[in-house]
Amino acid sequence: MPPVIRFAASADAWEDYEGPLRRALAARGLGAAELSAGALPPDRVDYIVYAPSSEVQDFAPYTRLKAVLNLWAGVENVVGNPTLRVPLARMVDAGLTQGMVEWVTGHALRHHLGIDHCLAHQSGDWVRHVPPLARDRPVTVLGLGALGRACAQALAALNFPVTGWSRTSREVAGIRCLSGEAGLAPALRGAEIVVLLLPDTPATADVMNAGTLALPSAGAVLLNPGRGTLIDDAALLDALDRGQIGHATLDVFRHEPLPADHPFWAHPKVTVTPHIASETRPATAAEVIAENVRRGEAGEPLLHLVDRARGY
């Protein structure tokens, strides 16, 4: 019997995803699958392609459900749902990874080369501001999952000396890797650019606080395309005002959209980008979803399964 798949996300997302999903399913011999964004009878649904903002919040009626396939990289808004008792897969796809690499490397180079300084001094005065070579600018990446690894290796390819930190031990070619609570301070100490790519879990909340913000080199740059909860906002503002942190480029926030009266908007040492660092792109995400449906139907392990105990 062909699988029945409910697309549980916004109407706009359905318009973008329907064609790529049908093509990706057909390419895997699943062209007969029933794919619908409508309210299918729950007891007929085998897979839910899911955005945590969906109206589907109670999974208990889905008695035939085999897996929930998340459209987002982040799963913090669904992983703790007590009615979800089937495998949950998060989104990891080539387009999402490439988008993150481009955002991180672009902003790292922007700060490394002093582009903001050049733009601010177009006054006719010949003031030379020569940056160091990348090999003399230490970078630390917190988080060595798929996105963190890709960004760390891209920066290392540009000759930045990169240290990566993760909660559990990892090995990444060309990267100095540290882990665990004991490894966090050494990873941050002396960094001139810090990139945050950790998941949102109780263990990572406020990982950048008054204590850890004091560890990078004075005037260091903080890039956060990971999760807004990784930063203690008040501590960051204080570090910026004191010059301990020279600039923060932030793509994610505790509350989104970022409220118009939030001090980040007006702070001269903060750049706000509106959660655009790594958008899920239908053409590549559809391939991951269809492959997981194929695997589920074939009895094979699903890709990118979430560890409920760790929260990602």
- Is the pLDDT at 81 greater than 90? The verdict is yes
Per-residue pLDDT reduced to its tens digit, 222-278: 999 999 999 999 999 999 999 999 999 999 999 999 999 999 999 999 999 999 998
- Same fold for the domain at 4-93+280-298 and the one at 94-272? yes
pLDDT at 126: 86
CB-based contacts of 25: which residues, under 8 Å, 6+ apart?
31, 33, 35, 290, 293
Asked whether residue 18 carries a pLDDT value surpassing 90, the answer given is yes
Q: Which stretch of DSSP H or E encloses residue 287?
A: helix 282-298
pLDDT confidence band for 191 (50 / 70 / 90): very high
Are 252 and 227 in contact, with CB atoms under 8 Å apart?
Answer: yes
CA dist 309 and 79 (Å) reads 9
Sheet of 162-166: strand order equals 176-179, 162-166, 139-142, 193-196, 220-224, 245-250, 270-272
pTM here is 0.91
Q: Say if CB 180 and CB 168 are below 8 A apart.
A: yes
Q: What pLDDT was estimated at residue 109?
A: 98
Provide the residue ranges of all domains of the chain, joining segments of one domain with +.
Answer: 4-93+280-298, 94-272
Give the model's pLDDT for residue 121: 83
Cβ burial, residue 56 (10 Å; 0-12/13-18/19+): buried
Q: For position 173, what pLDDT does the model report?
A: 96
- Homologous superfamily of the 4-93+280-298 domain (CATH): NAD(P)-binding Rossmann-like Domain (3.40.50.720)
User: Predicted confidence band at 280 (pLDDT cuts at 50, 70, 90)?
Assistant: confident
Q: Is the pLDDT of residue 83 over 90?
A: yes
DSSP letter (8 states) at residue 277:
T
**Catalytic residue numbers?**
227, 275
Q: In angstroms, rounded to a whole number, what is the distance separating the alpha carbons of residues 9 and 49?
A: 8
3-state secondary structure of 303: coil
Tens digits of per-residue pLDDT, 111-170?
999 999 888 888 888 888 899 999 999 999 999 999 999 999 999 999 999 999 999 999
The amino acid at 38:
G
CA-to-CA distance for 262 and 171, rounded, in angstroms? 39
Asked if the model's pLDDT at residue 289 lies above 90, the reply is: yes
Which CATH architecture describes the domain 94-272? 3-Layer(aba) Sandwich (3.40)
Q: Among 231, 194, 228, 224, which residue's Cα sits nearest to residue 210? A: 231
Strands annotated E in the chain: 4-8, 34-36, 47-50, 67-70, 88-89, 139-142, 162-166, 176-179, 193-196, 220-224, 245-250, 270-272
